[in-house]
Amino acid sequence: MSTSMENFALLDDPLLKRAYLGKVSGEPPWRLTIEYALAESSPESPLEVTHRRGRRHPSDIIWPYVRAMIVSDRAANVLHSFSGWSPYDVKVFDGYGELVTGFVGLGVSGRCGLVKQDTTRIEGEGQWAEYVGLRFRIDTWDGSDIFYPSAGFGPIVTARLGNALRNAKLSNLKVIPMPEVRAFKFQIDRYIADGYGVYGMEDDSPRR
């Protein structure tokens, strides 16, 4: 499993305090926004994203919610030749309330099953010990270049797309190879003991 995971990477929010942080203005509620991110539905009118904090001008990647990504035309151009996504219309406003053109919402239609921390690899000792790597069952992956799991970490991309995004030097985006994703062991052990979240789930089948 660890060898096959080398062919994938996790896209993540670098959580930069200085980066533009957007919020969805008015309707729809955040749950519907997640449906857009998962390409389960599309907004009838452009989704409005306004400035919450950080830099007044948006970066290439805006993270209004977990699993929701708004991307610049630069990022969309990289994604253009890859599978597993479609755009939806957005209106992005900077910190001065001015409309900023050149952004689309990222609707990810690609899927795989459950993505969990790999608990077979441990580095460090004591409170600093970490589990290293993410894993999922390859047979649950639909073959898309970008995809979301049924539960757990995401979005995930193929190494080829991950390299293309990294080479584009897009702002406010981390591309982490799956075998290098780390989490403190004591936190994951607590989740497992409590049956919390994905660590209490046994179903690895992809979301329908």
pLDDT digits (tens, 9 = 90+) for 153-201: 889 999 999 999 999 999 999 999 999 999 899 988 888 887 665 655 5
Residue 1 has pLDDT above 60, yes or no: no
Q: What is the pLDDT of residue 125?
A: 92
pTM equals 0.88
Per residue in 21-45, pLDDT (tens digit) is: 998 877 566 777 889 999 999 898 9
Q: What is the pLDDT of residue 205?
A: 46
Cross-strand pairs, 117:
134
Residue 84 has pLDDT above 60, yes or no: yes
Terminal-residue alpha carbon distance, the chain: 24
Greater confidence (30 vs 47) lies with: 47
- SS (HEC) of 2-20: HHHHCCEEEEECCCCCCCC
Greater confidence (1 vs 22) lies with: 22
Domain boundaries, the chain: 1-208
Cross-strand pairs, 105:
70, 88
Question: Which residues have C-beta within 8 Å of that of residue 202, sequence separation ≥ 6?
Answer: none
Q: What is the pLDDT of residue 197?
A: 59
Residue 87 has pLDDT above 50, yes or no: yes
